[in-house]
């Protein structure tokens, strides 16, 4: 049994240094692909940049130039440049207005 201990430790170390980070990255990519919506600026795996104009299930329409749209798979999205917009509550807007500069 003691002779298998180093082998078991090596496999455990490989899991935590190689496999687990890959799983986290894959999960993060899946969440990104699932959250893509119209108006997002994205980069595809192929290196194309554009703005998502419409989402139809697994297909997105990507506007790469004015009046030029490409039909691509949603899974081709590699990176989103704009984070989802968080709606401000009415109270936050009022607080920001109250903190404005005071004129003499």
CATH (domain of 62):
2.30.30
Q: What is the largest CA-CA distance in the chain?
A: 83
Q: What phi, psi does 40 have (nearest 5°)? A: -75, 135
- Is residue 66 helix, strand or coil? coil
61 domain residue, yes or no: yes
pLDDT in tens, 7-55: 999 988 888 888 888 999 999 999 999 999 999 999 999 999 999 999 9
What pairs with residue 24 in β-bridges?
none
pLDDT in tens, 14-26: 888 888 889 999 9
User: Into how many domains does the chain fold?
Assistant: 1
**pLDDT tier at 72 (50, 70, 90 boundaries)?**
very high
What pLDDT does residue 54 have? 94
Mean pLDDT of the chain: 84
21 domain residue, yes or no: no
- Taken in order 92, 97, 98, 100, is the CA torsion positive or negative? positive
Share of the chain above pLDDT 70, in %: 79
100 domain residue, yes or no: no
Strands of 41-44's sheet in order across: 68-73, 59-65, 49-56, 41-44, 77-80
Domain range holding 70?
Answer: 37-83
């Amino acid at each position: 049994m003691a002779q298998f201990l180093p082998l078991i430790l090596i496999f455990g170390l490989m899991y935590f240094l190689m496999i687990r980070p890959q799983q986290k990255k894959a999960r993060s990519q899946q969440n990104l692909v699932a959250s893509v919506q119209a108006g997002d600026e994205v980069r595809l795996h192929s290196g194309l940049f554009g703005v998502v104009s419409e989402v139809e299930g697994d297909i997105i329409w990507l506007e790469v130039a004015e009046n030029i749209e490409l039909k691509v798979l949603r899974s081709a999205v590699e990176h989103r440049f704009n984070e989802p917009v968080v709606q401000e509550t009415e109270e936050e807007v009022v607080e920001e207005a109250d903190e404005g500069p005071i004129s003499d």
